[in-house]
Amino acid sequence: MTSDVGTNWAGNLSYRASRLAEPQSLDALADLVRGAPRLRMLGSRHSFNDLADTDGVLVSLAALAGAQPSVAADRRTVRVPAGIRYGDLVPFLQAEGLALANLASLPHISVAGAVQTGTHGSGDAIGTLATQVAALELITGTGERLRLARGDADFAGAVVALGALGAVTHVELDVEPAYEVRQRVFEGARWDAVLPAYDEVTAAGDSVSLFTTWADPDVVGQVWVKSRTTRDEPDLAFVGAAPADGPRHPIPGVDPQPCTPQQGQPGAWFDRLPHFRLAFTPSVGAELQSEYLVARTDAAAAIEALRPLAGRIAPLLHVCEVRTMAADDLWLSPASGRPTVGIHFTWRPDEPAVRQLLPEIEAALPASARPHWGKISTLPADAVRARFPQWSRFAQLRERLDPQHRFGNAYLARLGL
Ligand SMILES: Cc1cc2nc3c(=O)[nH]c(=O)nc-3n(C[C@H](O)[C@H](O)[C@H](O)COP(=O)(O)OP(=O)(O)OC[C@H]3O[C@@H](n4cnc5c(N)ncnc54)[C@H](O)[C@@H]3O)c2cc1C
Mean pLDDT of 100-122: 96
The mean pLDDT value for 380-401 works out to: 98
Residue 279: is its pLDDT beyond 80? no
Number of domains in the chain: 2
The protein residue with its alpha carbon nearest to ligand 1, atom 50, reads 46
7 phi, psi to nearest 5 deg = -120, 170
The answer, yes or no, to whether any atom of ligand 1 lies below 6 A from the CB of 119, is: yes
- Residues 243 and 184 sit within 8 Å (Cβ to Cβ): yes
Q: What is the pLDDT of residue 1?
A: 46
- 172 in the same domain as 188: no
Q: How far from each other are the two terminal CA atoms of the chain, in whole angstroms? A: 26
Higher pLDDT, 19 or 284: 19
For ligand 1, pick from 26, 80, 85, 119 the residue to mutate: most ligand atoms within 8 Å of CB. 119
Q: Are residues 147 and 265 in the same domain?
A: no
**Residue ID of nearest Cα to ligand 1 atom 33:** 113
Residue 171 falls inside a structural domain: yes
The answer, yes or no, to whether residue 2 has pLDDT greater than 90, is no
Q: Does ligand 1 lie within 6 Å of residue 274's CB atom?
A: no
pTM: 0.97
Task: Indicate if 315 and 364 belong to the same structural domain.
Answer: yes
Q: Which domain holds residue 126?
A: 70-178
Mean of the per-residue pLDDT values of the chain: 96
Measure the CA–CA gap between 71 and 61, rounded to whole angstroms.
21
Same domain, 120 and 191: no
The enclosing domain of 287 has a CATH number of 3.30.70.2520
Q: How far is CA 344 from CA 47, 105, 117, 379, in A?
A: 14, 12, 15, 15
Nearest-CA neighbor of 294 among 283, 282, 307, 303? Answer: 303
189 and 154 fall within a common domain: no
- Asked if 227 and 363 sit in the same domain, the reply is yes
**3-state DSSP assignment of residue 131:** helix
**Residue 145 shares a structural domain with residue 239:** no
Contact 162 CB / ligand 1 (< 6 Å)? yes
Q: Enter the DSSP assignment of 261.
A: P
pLDDT value at position 3? Answer: 61
Asked whether residue 212 falls in the same domain as residue 86, the answer is: no
The domain boundary, picked from 178, 210, 233, lies at: 178
261 and 236 both lie in a single domain: yes
Q: Domain boundary residue among 178, 210, 236? A: 178
pLDDT in tens, 247-269: 999 999 999 999 999 999 999 99
Instruction: Let me know if residue 216 belongs to a domain.
Output: yes
Per the domain annotation, does 341 fall within a domain? Answer: yes
> Distance (Å, rounded) from C-alpha 66 to C-alpha 79?
13
**Residue 98 sits in the same domain as residue 196:** no
Q: DSSP assignment of 38-106, as one string?
A: SEEEE-SS--SSGGG--SSEEEE-GGGTTSPPEE-TTSSEEEEETT-BHHHHHHHHHHHTEE-S---S-
Q: How far is the CA of 198 from the centre of ligand 1 (A)?
A: 29
| Ligand 1 center to 52 CA (angstroms) | 9
My answer on whether 223 and 266 are in the same domain is yes
**pLDDT on residue 286:** 86
If phi > 0 it is left, if psi is from -120 to 50 it is alpha, else beta; for residue 283 that is left
Q: What is the pLDDT of residues 200-248, one digit of tens each?
A: 999 999 999 999 999 999 999 999 999 999 999 999 999 999 999 999 9
Give residue 42 CA to ligand 1 midpoint distance, Å. 9
Query: Which residue's CA is minimally distant from atom 11 of ligand 1?
Result: 119
Decide: 120 in ligand 1 pocket, CB within 6 A.
yes
Q: Is the CB of 84 under 6 A from ligand 1?
A: no
Do residues 332 and 200 share a domain?
A: yes
Tell me which of 133, 149, 178 is where a domain ends. Answer: 178
What is the structure's pLDDT at 392?
98
